[in-house]
């Protein structure tokens, strides 16, 4: 069994050492094994650690729990992603409280070039469902990975829409991978594993206790390029996630609704506070994030194995000397008649050997 991997998981079990302190320790020592091998005196001098936390590290002895976790992950083909691993979601590294270890079961790329988190109320309206579906269908050509929290309401709508449209989607959980909450989403979670996955920082046997959800929400906010709030009241998990996305300097979008609708009150507040961009239509996401396909200027390929006349060779040799040459310079340097130069230029243009520029300038293609 990999000793470093055991120490990586063990680091998350040390009392008093949270993600922030773990990140500091890893940055200082380079790996988990070196942290546990370090002397107490050296540990205590690290900023944010001190005597008490250094003692906690040195007295830690429950490595067996980490070993059991590895046995579980190997049995169910779960990836263990440490903060220094190449496959660890790199966007999370920009978050000061990035999880030290993540457990991932799936086949989606957590470092996909485009990732969007979609969140909202657990009791969505038909309007919220429609908007969620339209957004995801609009994003489909851009092959973005869609993440959410596998909760009731907007989360489930987002995941189901992705499954139905063969779009990669990852559910971020507030419990271990040995269970699914809510239980009604077991079938959905199974479908997601075929094109997407399930991600959590919690070990097996971790129940979906309420204080786990805000912790989970920071991953939802941090793993994506942008978070879209569909519907939410002023208080609730979606607002916590939105505030986290804002504090992480992520793009934040909010869908407006009726001013007297409680399910839109949170979105309207985010817009009013200038924390979220007012989302008027799904295409706006693509524009705001700069995902438009740039028009490619198709360059005509120069014909190969062209046999040039003597006049054409003279013209091309002059054009090799500079980036671009004026017609008058071609007349002067070539020593050819104006009609000969004109004829040579026309033929070379037709053969895609030279290009005509504004101001009677020419250059090699």
Q: Where are the domains of the chain?
A: 3-104, 107-288, 310-364
Mean local confidence (pLDDT), 353-360:
79
**Which of 43-47, 154-158, 301-305 shows the highest mean pLDDT?**
154-158
CATH 3.30.9.10 is right for the domain spanning 107-288: no
pLDDT higher than 70, residue 255:
yes
Strands 145-148 and 115-119: parallel
Q: In this structure, is the dihedral angle defined by the CA atoms of residues 27, 86, 175 and 147, taken in order, positive or negative? A: positive
Given the structure tokens 């590290």, which residue do they identify?
57
Q: What is the pLDDT of residues 273-316, one digit of tens each?
A: 999 999 999 999 999 988 876 544 444 455 555 788 999 999 98
Q: Structure pTM?
A: 0.79
- C-alpha pair distances (Å), 239 with each of 80, 116, 201, 236, 292: 29, 16, 21, 6, 29
Given the structure tokens 């980490």, which residue do they identify?
66
User: Comparing 9-23, 62-76, 294-308, 344-358, which segment has the lowest mean pLDDT?
Assistant: 294-308
Comparing 303 with 346, the larger pLDDT belongs to 346
User: Which pLDDT score, from 0 to 100, does residue 85 have?
Assistant: 95
pLDDT higher than 50, residue 42:
yes
pLDDT higher than 90, residue 155:
yes
User: Comparing 108-112, 185-189, 221-225, 331-335, which segment has the lowest mean pLDDT?
Assistant: 331-335
In CATH terms, the fold of domain 3-104 is DNA polymerase; domain 1 (1.10.150)
Cα gap 249→74, rounded to integer Å = 36
Given the structure tokens 């239509």, which residue do they identify?
281
pLDDT higher than 50, residue 204:
yes
Q: Which of 149, 333, 158, 106 is nearest to 238 (CA)?
A: 149
In CATH terms, the fold of domain 310-364 is Arc Repressor Mutant, subunit A (1.10.10)
Mean local confidence (pLDDT), 176-183:
96
CA torsion 17-71-111-244 (nearest 10°) is -40
Would you say the CATH fold of 310-364 matches that of 3-104?
A: no
Q: Does residue 203 have a cis peptide bond before it, meaning omega lies within 30 degrees of 0?
A: no
What share of the chain has pLDDT > 90, as a percent? 76
Task: Provide the mean pLDDT of the chain.
Answer: 92
């Amino acid at each position: 069994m990999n000793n470093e991997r055991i120490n990586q998981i063990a680091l998350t079990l040390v009392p008093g050492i949270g993600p922030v302190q773990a990140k500091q320790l890893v940055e200082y020592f380079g790996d988990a094994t070196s942290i546990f091998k370090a002397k107490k005196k050296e540990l205590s001098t690290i900023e944010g650690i001190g005597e008490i936390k250094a003692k906690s590290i040195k007295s830690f002895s429950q490595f067996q729990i980490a070993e059991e976790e590895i046995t579980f992950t190997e049995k169910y083909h779960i990836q263990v992603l440490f903060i220094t691993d190449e496959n660890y979601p790199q966007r999370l590294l920009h978050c000061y409280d990035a999880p030290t270890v993540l457990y991932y079961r799936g086949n989606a790329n957590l470092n996909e070039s485009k990732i969007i988190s979609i969140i909202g109320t657990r009791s969505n309206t038909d309007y919220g469902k429609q908007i969620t579906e339209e957004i995801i269908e609009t994003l489909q050509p851009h092959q973005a990975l869609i993440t959410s929290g596998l909760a009731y309401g907007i989360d489930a709508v987002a995941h189901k829409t992705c499954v139905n449209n063969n779009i990669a989607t990852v559910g971020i959980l507030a419990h271990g991978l040995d269970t699914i909450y809510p239980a009604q989403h077991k079938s959905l979670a199974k479908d997601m594993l075929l094109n997407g996955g399930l991600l959590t920082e919690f070990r097996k046997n971790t129940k979906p206790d309420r204080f786990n959800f805000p912790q989970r929400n920071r991953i939802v906010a941090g793993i994506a390029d942008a978070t879209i709030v569909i519907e939410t009241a002023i208080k609730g998990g979606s607002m916590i996630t939105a505030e986290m996305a804002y504090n992480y300097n992520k793009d934040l979008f909010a869908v407006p609704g009726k001013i007297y609708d409680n399910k839109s009150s949170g979105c309207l507040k985010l817009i009013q506070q200038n924390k979220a961009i007012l989302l008027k239509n799904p295409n706006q996401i693509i524009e705001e994030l700069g995902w438009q396909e740039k028009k490619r200027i198709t360059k005509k390929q120069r014909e190969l194995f062209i046999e040039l006349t003597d006049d054409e060779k003279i013209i091309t040799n002059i054009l090799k000397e500079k980036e671009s040459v004026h017609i008058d310079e071609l007349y002067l340097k070539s020593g050819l008649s104006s009609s000969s130069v004109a004829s040579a230029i026309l033929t070379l243009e037709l053969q895609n050997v030279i290009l005509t520029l504004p101001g009677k300038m020419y250059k090699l293609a």
